[in-house]
Structure 1
Amino acid sequence: MSTASATQSGSGVDLSRIKRGPIVFALIIGAFVAILNETLLGNALPELVTALNVPYSTIQWLSTAYMLVIGVLVPVTAVLQQWFTTRQMFLSAMILFLVGTVIAAIAPGFELLLTGRIIQALGTGLMLPVMMNTILAIFPPESRGGAMGLIGLVIMFAPAIGPTVSGLIMDSLSWRWLFILVIPIAVFSIIFAAVFMKNVSEVTKPKVDVLSIILSTIGFGGVVYGFSKAGEGGWGHSEVIWAISVGLVALVIFIFRQLKLKDPVMDLRAFKYPMFALVTVLLFVIMMTLFSTMTLLPMFLQGVLFMTAFKSGLTMLPGGVVNGIMAPISGKLFDKFGPRVLVIPGLIIVALSIFLFTGFDETTSNGYLITVHIVLLIGLSMVMMPAQTTGLNQLPRHLYPHGTAILNTLQQVSGAIGTALFISIMSNGQKDYLKTSSDPQNPLEMAKGLIEGLHSAFWIGFIIALVALVLGLFIRKTKAPEGETRGGMGH
């Protein structure tokens, strides 16, 4: 599909009279409940083990299955967005999410609770790419930063308050309230979107290649599952080796097939645009760092400083709030000055704060820890949305669904890889320390072992952050391909 034809098809949907405000608001509410839900359950897992009478290895599936479903579904959204209108996609996503939430709230046992979580994840997996694609469609490149910043506020703020909110609920109510309290917000989101959501993308109904969908499901599913299991039970497990190997083989075949098809499920020709390719790698690396700190910090707070789950959630809350405030500011600055002014200093801040993490031990004060965490999240807010917007801005309009699907998929995969990698580094460091300890069962010795393991993991995190910084030096402001802006905006 040439740029010219993309431009003409871009004017197939008249966007000149569309009210952007209500559409963005509908997207923000939907995204908020869907993303909040990802981290809401973390604090409740220990209580669910007791309440549902299942082992921890089983309860982990409430988180693992959620990531797995999103990792499998997001690659297919590029095709779905060409078959169904924006309105149909968004309302379907929110209705699925609501149904899953209701099932989870009334679930009598683990099996039905897991079913509810999987249906919720189907809604979330549909929602994220639709949200980004809609922003790309309704805003011209020169004002996308501010809009993406608002979305960034939700994407970063919702998971940050998740542990605190769930800690509060778990202190005074049963785990079912984690789902019951989400239901009215989801209902409001559906009603609001039914009134204000408009279709902003053209339905082209391309031929669907079923084999590609199967390969994508096995590929991304295998990799996410393999790395998730490695985080739980170590890398030598036969299940881990098989899942990752089968996943990688399926992905290689999937990639070759996409490059040959006239209507690929995920159009990898997006990588021909150099800034999009660079940003994809940069975000993959930075997401590994983000997920690792999100996983390792609560372990440090609870395992070394002996905080309760609620207190550790409260300790991490200020960073999340500051990040949420910074995201729209970064977006506005991006529109004014371009990406370099934000991304390079942001990456330096990220690397510096992870370097400071390597000095954390049992004497670290709460105030210092909160400050370093805030600094890290300020750095991340300067990188995430500006980099993402830069990469997507370079794509022609017909590649928007594919670009957003690629970025969202790789973020899920990098999250699974990052979490598994850092947890295994930390576990091995702790084991090595305890081997040399004279009293390995002593809680204080175990905490010291945890510190050793965390230091090793944060050092690797620091090296990865330096790699991201080197990549960030090459980022440049991008322009949409010739004629895309006018045609795409339907003037």
Structure 2
Amino acid sequence: MATDAAPTPVARTPVVDRDVPRAAAPAPPAPPAPAPPPSDRGWGVPLAVLIVGMFMSVLDISIINVAIPTMQLDFGATTDQIQWVENGYSLALGVVVPVSAWMAAKFGPGRVYNLSLLGFAAGSALCGLAWDLNSIVAFRVLQALPGGVLPVVTLTILYKIVPPDKIGAAMGMYGLGIIVAPAVGPTLGGYLVEYVDWRLIFFINVPVGILGVIAAVMLLPRFGPTPVGRFDLLGFLSVATGLVCLLLALTEGQKWGWTSYSIMILLTVGVLGLALFVVIELEVERPLLNVRVFKHWAFTNSLMLVSVLSIGLFAVLFYIPLLLQQARGLGAFDTGLLLLPQALVMAVIMPTAGLLYDKIGPRWPAAIGLAIVALGTYMLTDVTLESSTEHVVWVLVLRAVGMGLAMMPIMTGGLSAVPPDQVDGASAFNNVVQRTSSALGLAGLTSLVTYSREQFSLDRGLLVSTDTPMPVLAPGATGEMAGMYAVYQQTQTIAFVEAMHSLFIVTAIITAAGIPLALMLRSGPSKPAAGGPVVAAH
């Protein structure tokens, strides 16, 4: 027995090494497997679910414009006070958009999307229940917090569920929310305000939001969180301060005076805050937004082009209704109906532009689209008090063709130049640039309109001598005063139309200036990177 036992310890070691499988031994848990690349199956329905939710948040930006005068009467507010219903929303967006990408990575884009959609529906319900000016402004801020997150996280999920070679077509559908929603807003809002109740423009979001969340839970793929580290508090404070100061200066510059101390201080703090943000993001290990995405020229170029298109889009969407209502005397709903054809045209053109992008790249759709937008904007200078409504509609439709052709290829070409792991931050920058450039452009063009209108009115007033006969609209002094007032009103209206022409000329020049930048975009379809997903060729 002793001789048999002696070899046992000698033989044990080789037996264990050779015959016992390693998998039987305890091992540390394996890291999570990387997410599979997007499949070509089943992305259309999930994308439609995403677009409905995002469409609702973008629609709310423009739909409220036609309700502002009615809300002003209901709440007994001044023009300056009621403007905070929109200003508060814009300022809140400036705070929440930069943190949207971090939230999507930290908690998972699907979860953030669902919570944001519910939050937006809840904020909309509160807006519909508002009882005075202070409550509607506060509730609009609450509504903007989830509303600013939705477009960013939607774009993040889009890039996760859509195959890279189908990104152009998918972005064409995504663009329905970015561009078509603001164009549809005045029509829907005008009908609700004129024939139902302005509160319904908010209440309508509640069932849509609830149904959207149910559809998202059932149809969207599950995406877990990704490691993002600690929240970059300093970066957030600097970018939020910078954006809020800039947006406040841009929205109040006309009223406070562009050279006033308040505006100059806000602009200075805003620029310094954004500069500090860049410095912080270059130094921290895990930045809130990776500013190094600007090293990719195609992405930086696309942001400049997005700025050009945003200025042209929102300036015309804001001032054409004013021109139709104030100068031509149309009602809110009738004005909305005249704007509807351009929205329908963009709804058709944008998916087509996405297919073109997949086939030929962004260069030629963008350049041709910008040229059409510039031409159509310049043609608006022919619109006068005597112009037919059909002429106005056809010019707006021409602009819509160019806008629909250019916007999504430009955005998609820029985002495709960014590495896949940086798309979240790039989409956040995209939304920040859209909001800021549209606010900046609208503020600058409003100053132009105000100055031009005053100058044209003064010039026309000087042409009227003291002995010029005035129309008499009734017997006696009252009729003479009414006639003088009618002449004054007509002069002011003509001056306003001429100021609009100045705005259209400047906007056309800005749009045309983007054509050389569009010619620098990539031409040709995307090419696959070795061993990885399809990446845009530069």
CA contact (8 A) 1:141 1:485 kept: no
Q: Looking at both structures, which has the greater relative contact order when contacts are Cα pairs under 8 Å and sequence separation is at least 6?
A: 1
| Farther-moved stretch of structure 1 (110-119 vs 378-387) | 110-119
Aligned to 1:287: 310
CA contact (8 A) 1:394 1:480 kept: no
- CA drift of 1:165 comes to 1.1
Aligned to 1:6: none
Report matched runs for 1:264-303 at 5 Å: 264-303=287-326
Task: Determine what percentage of the aligned residue pairs are the same residue.
Answer: 26
- 1:383 matches 2:406: yes
- 1:14 matches 2:36: yes
- CA drift of 1:111 comes to 1.9
- CA drift of 1:15 comes to 4.8
Amino acid in the other structure paired with 1:94: L
SS of residue matched to 1:436: helix
| Alpha-carbon distance in structure 2 between the residues aligned to 1:480 and 1:65 | 44
TM-score (norm 2): 0.85
Report matched runs for 1:80-229 at 5 Å: 80-200=103-223, 202-229=225-252
CA contact (8 A) 2:55 2:176 kept: no
Aligned to 2:372: 349
| Farther-moved stretch of structure 1 (29-38 vs 423-432) | 29-38
Runs of 4+ more than 4 Å apart: 15-18, 231-234, 478-481
Q: 1:468 aligns with which of 509, 514, 525?
A: 514
Aligned to 1:482: 529
CA contact (8 A) 1:138 1:200 kept: no
Measured against aligned partners, the alpha-carbon deviations of 1:159-210 in whole angstroms (never above 9, x if no partner) come to 2121111111112222212222221111111111122222346511323221
> CA RMSD for the aligned pairs?
2.1
CA contact (8 A) 2:164 2:533 kept: no
Q: Highest CA radius of gyration, 1 or 2?
A: 2
CA contact (8 A) 1:167 1:310 kept: yes
- CA drift of 1:394 comes to 1.3
| Alpha-carbon distance in structure 1 between the residues aligned to 2:458 and 2:204 | 46
Q: 1:316 aligns with which of 323, 339, 354?
A: 339
Measured against aligned partners, the alpha-carbon deviations of 1:323-364 in whole angstroms (never above 9, x if no partner) come to 112111111121122112311111110111111122322222
Amino acid in the other structure paired with 1:390: G
| Shift in alpha-carbon separation, 1:484–1:226, aligned structure 2, 3 A | farther
CA contact (8 A) 2:312 2:507 kept: yes
Amino acid in the other structure paired with 2:34: G
Aligned to 2:416: 393
| Alpha-carbon distance in structure 1 between the residues aligned to 2:528 and 2:245 | 36
Structure 2: stretches of 5+ with no match in the other structure: 1-30, 465-483
- 1:448 matches 2:476: no
Amino acid in the other structure paired with 1:193: A
CA contact (8 A) 1:140 1:485 kept: no
| Alpha-carbon distance in structure 2 between the residues aligned to 1:486 and 1:333 | 20
| Alpha-carbon distance in structure 2 between the residues aligned to 1:51 and 1:312 | 22
Aligned to 1:458: 504
| Alpha-carbon distance in structure 1 between the residues aligned to 2:406 and 2:103 | 29
Report matched runs for 1:230-241 at 5 Å: 230-241=253-264
- CA drift of 1:244 comes to 1.8
- CA drift of 1:294 comes to 1.2
Amino acid in the other structure paired with 2:387: T
Aligned to 2:49: 26
| Alpha-carbon distance in structure 2 between the residues aligned to 1:251 and 1:361 | 42
Amino acid in the other structure paired with 2:35: V
CA contact (8 A) 1:356 1:372 kept: yes
TM-score (norm 1): 0.93
Structure 1: stretches of 5+ with no match in the other structure: 1-8
- CA drift of 1:16 comes to 5.5
| Farther-moved stretch of structure 1 (379-388 vs 162-171) | 162-171
- 1:60 matches 2:107: no
- 1:437 matches 2:460: yes
| Shift in alpha-carbon separation, 1:310–1:237, aligned structure 2, 3 A | farther
- CA drift of 1:484 comes to 7.1
| Farther-moved stretch of structure 1 (99-108 vs 408-417) | 99-108
| Alpha-carbon distance in structure 2 between the residues aligned to 1:229 and 1:320 | 30
Q: 1:411 aligns with which of 413, 434, 440?
A: 434
| Alpha-carbon distance in structure 1 between the residues aligned to 2:311 and 2:435 | 10
| Alpha-carbon distance in structure 2 between the residues aligned to 1:412 and 1:85 | 25
| Shift in alpha-carbon separation, 1:10–1:54, aligned structure 2, 3 A | farther
Q: 1:41 aligns with which of 40, 64, 82?
A: 64
| Shift in alpha-carbon separation, 1:16–1:138, aligned structure 2, 3 A | closer
Aligned to 1:4: none
| Alpha-carbon distance in structure 1 between the residues aligned to 2:457 and 2:517 | 38
Amino acid in the other structure paired with 2:529: E
| Alpha-carbon distance in structure 2 between the residues aligned to 1:414 and 1:294 | 15
| Alpha-carbon distance in structure 1 between the residues aligned to 2:201 and 2:360 | 41
| Farther-moved stretch of structure 1 (195-204 vs 308-317) | 195-204
| Farther-moved stretch of structure 1 (182-191 vs 233-242) | 233-242
| Alpha-carbon distance in structure 2 between the residues aligned to 1:148 and 1:253 | 33
CA contact (8 A) 2:456 2:498 kept: yes
Measured against aligned partners, the alpha-carbon deviations of 1:289-327 in whole angstroms (never above 9, x if no partner) come to 211111121121122222222222111111111111211
SS of residue matched to 1:363: coil
- 1:250 matches 2:296: no
| Shift in alpha-carbon separation, 1:476–1:384, aligned structure 2, 3 A | same
| Alpha-carbon distance in structure 1 between the residues aligned to 2:138 and 2:93 | 14
Amino acid in the other structure paired with 1:385: M
| Alpha-carbon distance in structure 1 between the residues aligned to 2:145 and 2:333 | 29
- CA drift of 1:483 comes to 4.3
Measured against aligned partners, the alpha-carbon deviations of 1:366-412 in whole angstroms (never above 9, x if no partner) come to 11111010110110111111111011111111111111011111100
- CA drift of 1:83 comes to 0.7
- CA drift of 1:452 comes to 2.1
